[in-house]
Amino acid sequence: MKGQRLYVVRPFDPWRRGSLCTCPFKYTVNPYTGCGHRCLYCYASSYIRDFFNPRPKERLLERAARDLARIPPGSIVNVSSSSDPYTPPEEKLGLTRRLLELLAGKFVVEIVTKSSLVARDVDLLSKARSVVSVTITTLDASLAGRLEPGAPPPRERLRAMEKLSAAGVPVVLRLDPILPWLTDTWENIWGVVEAAAEAGAKHVVSSVYKAKPDNLARLLREFPDLADRYRELYLRRGSRIHGYWYAPTQYRRRVLGMAREAAHRMGLTFATCREGDAGHIDPGVNCDGTHLALRRGSSETRMSSSDVG
């Protein structure tokens, strides 16, 4: 809030609320610095030293409690925006769970994760105004193991989605990022969306991979045969926006159009993340899925294909 210093719970304000960010106003808190999922495409590793060595924030709970006392009750609080709240150390440390105990009942909680460990906290999340976004880029366990070597397999994430949804927690699929020549086929996109819908997802958020020097280098070390195509698509034909290389707009519109079509076929709402002119957000939804938490208790949580098509 104006005039008051916040320590670990801060306004989510990428690029000073520029046009690329379509999220509603919210706060964000990261229980950990860094993440052990070691995703090749990770963007946060370019900002944080030793990023793939996750460590708990010092005096997180004390500092978070102080910050939360200074922000309006009922505010949306995102956990986390730059490190996964269920990074591997969380299984023993339980820092995210204790943070949820501070948030539940007082704030709207938005979880973003690619870990099945989130299902452990279904008791807290089912009692809160909450929404859980689970990232799944592919159902191919071998490919996922190369792209996200420290994260649980996709099928474990789907089972976590099922458990959360069965308990009444709104679930969002983050099909994010879509990677050219790796996960951008109709078969892959449809397979992920269909499986997530069957697991109880109500909304899809998607984006196309955005290149930075470190994550591009990791991808091309793992997939050297794609080097020429990625350099052509991003460095020659793409655009540099806010420090990222974006793929050409025409490519992004085509690929995101497939994701939107898959979501609508399954009766899910759809939005893109940080895609500018290539993006799309269905009417009446928040891009990040927080509308599902804000509507908690309403029967209008899933749209029919005719509503969204």
Phi then psi for residue 77, to 5 deg, are: -120, 120
Quote the CA–CA distance of 253 and 222 in Å, as a whole number. 26
Amino acid 3: pLDDT: 52
Selection from 198, 199, 203 nearest residue 259 by Cα:
203
Among 83, 250, 233, CA closest to 99: 83
Is the confidence at residue 17, as pLDDT, over 60? no
Average pLDDT over residues 238-245: 95
Mean pLDDT of 275-288: 96
Mean pLDDT taken over the chain: 93
- At residue 301, does pLDDT exceed 60? no
Cis peptide before 80 (omega within 30 of 0): yes
pLDDT digits over 130-148, tens only?
999 999 999 999 999 999 9
Question: Does the pLDDT value for residue 196 go beyond 60?
Answer: yes
pLDDT at 296 (0 to 100): 77
Q: Where are the beta strands (DSSP E) in 220-264?
A: 239-241, 244-246
Query: Per residue in 64-86, pLDDT tens?
Result: 999 999 999 999 999 998 899 99
User: How far is it, in rounded angstroms, from Cα 271 to Cα 204?
Assistant: 6
Q: What is the pTM of this model?
A: 0.93
> Mean pLDDT across the stretch 11-15?
78
Burial grade of 276 (CB within 10 A; 0-12, 13-18, 19 or more): middle
Residue 306 has pLDDT above 80, yes or no: no
What CATH class is the domain 10-208+247-308?
alpha beta
